[in-house]
Amino acid sequence: MIPVLPTPHLSSRTGAWRMLRPVLEAEKCNGCLVCWLFCPEGSIRRENGSVSIDLDYCKGCGICARECPRRALRMVEEASFMGEGGGKLA
Ligand code: SF4
Ligand code: SF4
């Protein structure tokens, strides 16, 4: 019998403790979906030929930015978004 474990992104919101946030430079993105394939949390969504990031479930690991062949994603200190409230859980 194979144990069935919950998919990480369906069982825990990781956005509350993220230290770095992936930021997409949309003009560089060609929609190749490499980031979508590599994201361990399933927090990258396909969207009209590009991608978007569900920050509630992104843990800030940076794999997406590292794997992006076009350098369209960069990791930014979460503290620099203080006051915006975007993606951080209450
Ligand atoms: S890997 Fe980079 S270029 Fe490809 S879809 Fe993701 S952000 Fe866009
Ligand atoms: S940093 Fe990128 S790869 Fe890591 S969880 Fe967030 S969206 Fe996924």
12-40 per-position pLDDT tens digit? 777 778 999 999 999 999 999 999 999 99
Q: pTM for this one?
A: 0.82
Residue minimizing CA distance to atom 6 of ligand 2: 58
Return the CATH fold of 25-79: Alpha-Beta Plaits (3.30.70)
Q: How does strand 50-53 pair with strand 20-24?
A: unpaired
Starting from the CA of residue 59, give the closest ligand: 2
Binding pocket residue ranges, ligand 2, CB within 6 Å = 22, 39, 41, 43-44, 53, 58-64
> Is 49 a residue whose pLDDT tops 80?
yes
**Residue minimizing CA distance to atom 2 of ligand 2:** 64
**Does 51 sit in the ligand 1 pocket, CB within 6 Å?**
yes
Q: From the CB of 68, is ligand 1 less than 6 Å away?
A: yes
